[in-house]
Amino acid sequence: MGTLIYDGADGFTFDDRVLAHLQAVIQAKLRRREGFLLIWTDRTAGSEGILRSIWLDPSISVQFVFARPELPELNRDWLTMLSERANSNVGLVLEDSLRAEIREEVPAGSYRDSKAKRARRPEAD
């Protein structure tokens, strides 16, 4: 597990693979001097977890500390999806199922397929 250190004080843990993808997206946004919201459920705070959100901005210090000395391989599809989310009005929301797929704990396409099926499902009146 790696750590995202925000504003020099708060540290938030993420799997190294997830953290590497976050680092790439955050780096690209901050390089363009664009701030955005990162939202996730922090399971380190108890079994139910708590919803966390942080505003990432070029003026705020961010560090990435990885558990292993080498960076995990990045998946271009995940980078595209995470970048699109970071560019949205809502911000970059990291659901547990999305994080599990990035960690490769579920088959590739599972998260995307479930979201696509929900989007196609007609709404009940």
Confidence of residue 125 (pLDDT cuts 50, 70, 90): very low
Confidence of residue 48 (pLDDT cuts 50, 70, 90): confident
pLDDT value at residue 120? 47
Residue 106 has pLDDT above 90, yes or no: no
Confidence of residue 112 (pLDDT cuts 50, 70, 90): low
Domain interval for residue 82: 2-120
**106 falls within a domain:** yes
**125 falls within a domain:** no
Percent with pLDDT over 90 in the chain:
51
Euclidean distance between CA atoms 9 and 6, whole angstroms? 6
Euclidean distance between CA atoms 45 and 47, whole angstroms? 7
CA 120 from centre of chain: 25
Question: What's the structural domain count of the chain?
Answer: 1
More confident residue, 119 or 10: 10
